[in-house]
Amino acid sequence: MAIVLHAHLPYVHSSEPGSLEEDWYFQALLECYIPLLEVLEAAAADPAQRPRLSLGLSPTLLSLLGSAELGARFQPWLAVRLELLAQAHPSHAAAASAQAARLEATIAAWQSCGGDLLPRFRRLQQAGVLDLLTCAATHGYLPLLREFPEAVRGQLLTAVREHERLLGTRPQGIWLPECAYYEGLDRILTGAGLRYAILDAHGLLHGLPRPRFGVYAPIVSPGGMAFFGRDSGSTLPVWSARDGYPGQAAYREFHRDLGWDLPSSELVEHGIASPRPLGLKLHSVSGRDCPLEQKQPYEPKRAAAAAAADAGHYLAGRREQLEQLAGAMERRPLLVAPFDAELFGHWWYEGPRFLAELFRQAPAAGVGLVSLRESLGGGQTLQLCQPSPSSWGQGGYHNYWLNETNAWIVPEWHRATAAMVARVNSGVASAQARDLLNQAARELLLAQSSDWSFILRAGTTTDLARERIHRHLNRFWRLLAAVDGRDTPPADWLAAVQREDGLFPLVNAADWASLPLRSPPAG
C-alpha cells in the first residue's frame, strides 16, 4: 500500500501579522506539519517499523516554511493561545491540559530546530522514509490554463526549480493540483523532468485502452509519464467524516472552537480583533448528529485508544483487499491511498496518531508500505494507456473550478497570459526590465491559484478570494506597463510588492516564451 499525502496552502505571507490567512498556516504547522514530522521521525527510529510515505509539498507551502519572517511570528502566536487556554471552563480541564502540553511541546520543538522544518523533511527523504513530490507552483488548476501551454509550463518549471532550491533534489513525482488531468499534459510534465503522478480512479478506468489491472497497478502514458489511480476502498474509511473514522464520537470536534466561545473583549485583549477559530478545540464529536451546543468534553486518552483500534481495523481491511486482488492478478497489487495532508491533524486531530499506529501495526498485519517511487523501481512492465481527463473534485471533472461562481476568472487569466507570452517574446533591454518581468510572472502565478476558485465555489471568505485575485492581476498589469515604459511605479510601491510577493526567487519569465505548435496526441 502506498499512502500519499498532499500538503498545500496558498501563499498567505503578509507584511502585517495577525491575518486570518496567517492563522491558516500556523494552525497547520501546529496540528499537521510538525506532528507529521514527529510521527515519521519516531517510526524511522524504531527498527521494528518500516514507515514509507509519499508526500507532496506544494511550492507555495515550501515558500512559507522557508520564510524567516513568518517563522519569527509563530512562537508568539503559540504563546497567545496558551494564555487564552487558561480561560477554558473547568469541565474541560483534561482537554485543556493536553492542549497546553501540545502547545508547549511545539514551542520546544520549534526552538530546537531553529524554526526550520525543511532539513527534517530532507533527512527523511535521504533515509528512504519520505518520497517528496512537487505540485504546480501556485496550485494552478492546469486544465483551465491549457489554452496557453506556456502558462502550464511556467507553473511546472517554477515548481521544479523551487523544490530543488529548498529541498536539494529535483522532484520526480508531482501531485497534480486537484489530481486534474487533460489530454497532452503528460508531455509537458515529462518535459519539466517529472516522471509520475496520481489521478482519481476514473482517470485510469476511463483510459484508452482500459487498464488491465484497473487502479491496482500504475500505467504509462504515450508521453512517458507513469500514473497511479486512487483506490476508493483505501480512502473512504479515512476521509469521510460521516462514514469514516473521523466522525467517531471519541474524536475531537473540529467546528467547536474556544475562539467562538470566549467573549470578544477577551480576544481583543490578546490582539485578536474579532471572533475566529483559534485552533483550541476542547469538545468531542459526541455523536454523528449531536448539535454543536451539546458536544461533550474531549477525553484525550479515549481518543488515543480509538485511533489505535481504527488503525488496526483499517489494516485488516487492506490485508483482506490485497489477498483478494493477489488471487486475481498476475502481478503484485498496489493500493494507492491519497489524501490532503491537512486531514491528518487539522481536520482530524487524531490523524497523526492514526498514521503512527499504521506504521507500528503494519508489519504484524501483513501490509507492506511502499512509496510511489519505490513501487516503480521493481522492474515490472507498465501498460501503455492514454489517461482520461479527470479530477478528484466534486463531480470528478472540472466543474467545481469552472461554474457560475468563478468562471469569470478564466478569461482574465487568458488575457494576462497572452500579454505575458507576447512581452517575453519581445525581450527586454535591461536588467531592471527583466526584474520587473520576473515580478510580473510571480503575480500571474499567484492570480492562478486554484484556492481562490475553490473558495468562490464553496462560498467561504469569498471577499478575501476576490481581493487576492484582483490584487495580483492589478499588480501584474502595472508591472507589465512598467516593463513597456508606459508607467513608472513609485519606488515604495515596488519595494512593498517585492517584499510581500517575493516568493520563488529563481522564477524565470523566459519560461513563458512561445512553445512551438504540436500535433494533438493520437487517439
Residue positions annotated with a catalytic role? 178, 340
Q: Find residue 227's DSSP bridge partners.
A: 197, 219
Q: How far apart are CA 461 and CA 441, in angstroms?
A: 26
Evaluate the CA torsion angle 272, 274, 276, 282 in order and state its sign: positive
Judge whether 65 and 117 are in contact, CB under 8 Å: yes
Sheet of 53-57, strands arranged across: 130-133, 53-57, 2-7, 336-340
Give residue for cell 482574465: 412
DSSP helix/strand/coil, 390: strand
Q: Following DSSP, what letter does each residue of 162-209 receive, concatenated?
A: HHHHHHSS---EE--GGG-B-TTHHHHHHHTT--EEEE-HHHHHTSBS
Q: Following DSSP, what letter does each residue of 392-457 receive, concatenated?
A: SSTTSSSGGGSSTTTTTHHHHHHHHHHHHHHHHHH--SSHHHHHHHHHHHHHHHHHTBHHHHHHHH
Cβ neighbours of 499 (radius 10 Å): 11
Exposure class string for 139-176: b at 16+ Cβ within 10 A, else e: bbbbbbbeebbbbbbbbbbbbbbbbeebbeeebbbbbb
State how beta strands 383-384 and 336-340 pair.
unpaired
Name the CA radius of gyration of the chain, rounded: 23
Selection from 309, 294, 293 nearest residue 248 by Cα: 309
Judge whether 231 and 216 are in contact, CB under 8 Å: yes
State how beta strands 336-340 and 173-174 pair.
unpaired
Element (H, E) at 4: strand 2-7
DSSP helix/strand/coil, 385: coil
Task: Let me know the angle formed at the C-alpha of 313 by 311 and 316, rounded to the nearest 5 degrees.
Answer: 110
* Residues 6+ away with beta carbon under 8 Å from 440: 420, 423, 475, 476, 479, 480, 483, 509
Q: How far apart are CA 278 and CA 193, in angstroms?
A: 41
Q: What is the dihedral of CA 295, 299, 302, 303, to 10 degrees?
A: 70
Provide the angle, in degrees to the nearest 10, between the axes of the packed helices 93-112 and 68-85. 160
Q: How far apart are CA 262 and CA 257, in angstroms?
A: 9
